[in-house]
Amino acid sequence: MAMKASALLALVIILAAVHVESATITPATPASQDVITADIQVFGSTSYGAPSTVVSGNMIRTDLPVLGVDAFPGPDKHIFVSFGPLQPGTYTYQVFFVIDGVPALLSQQTIVVAPAVPALNEVYLSLLAISLAAAGSFALDGCR
């Protein structure tokens, strides 16, 4: 069993070296109120278990448990994970394959989270619109 796991780990590491890609982060420039979704492109010939994501300080880590590798390659798959909202700051996002408890880094990238942009609630936004309309009407009447 250990020989099979070692061979599987070696195969996945070789595939990862040939096929290293970053996850696609949505939104591309997240703010502190956003839930972030990572679209991780993985090998179509590999079977995966449920991913797990942990945020610890400024490190975000997603583990993709590898269940097996098919003999024939298939089209790439996409695995989606969500995390956040996060505090403003710079984070390192890492994605690992995990085979029999042994992690292998698939990708690493930086995510910069901006402070939330304050927004008016609907009541204040409506009051602002009415005030601007009244000021505009008064200004136009004064020009006659």
* Residue 5 in this model has a pLDDT that exceeds 80: no
- pLDDT at res. 18: 47
DSSP three-state, residue 93: strand
Taking the mean position of all CA atoms in its chain, how far away is CA 70?
Answer: 27
Q: Number of helices (H) and strands (E), helices first, in the chain? A: 2, 8
26, 29, 31, 33 alpha-carbon torsion, rounded to 10° = -10
User: 7-63: per-residue pLDDT in tens?
Assistant: 555 555 555 544 455 799 999 999 999 999 999 998 887 889 999 999 999 999 999
CA distance 106 to 87: 25
Sorted by where each starts, the structural domains of the chain and their CATH numbers stand as 2-116 (2.60.40)
CA distance 23 to 38: 6
CB 60 within 8 A of CB 53: yes
CA distance 42 to 97: 10
- pLDDT at res. 52: 96
CB 30 within 8 A of CB 117: no
User: How much is the pTM?
Assistant: 0.70
Which two structure tokens, joined as six digits, stand for 110?
């930086």
* Residue 144 in this model has a pLDDT that exceeds 80: no
CA distance 83 to 35: 6
CA distance 119 to 97: 40
- How confident is the prediction for the chain on average, in pLDDT? 84
Q: Which amino acid is at 30?
A: P
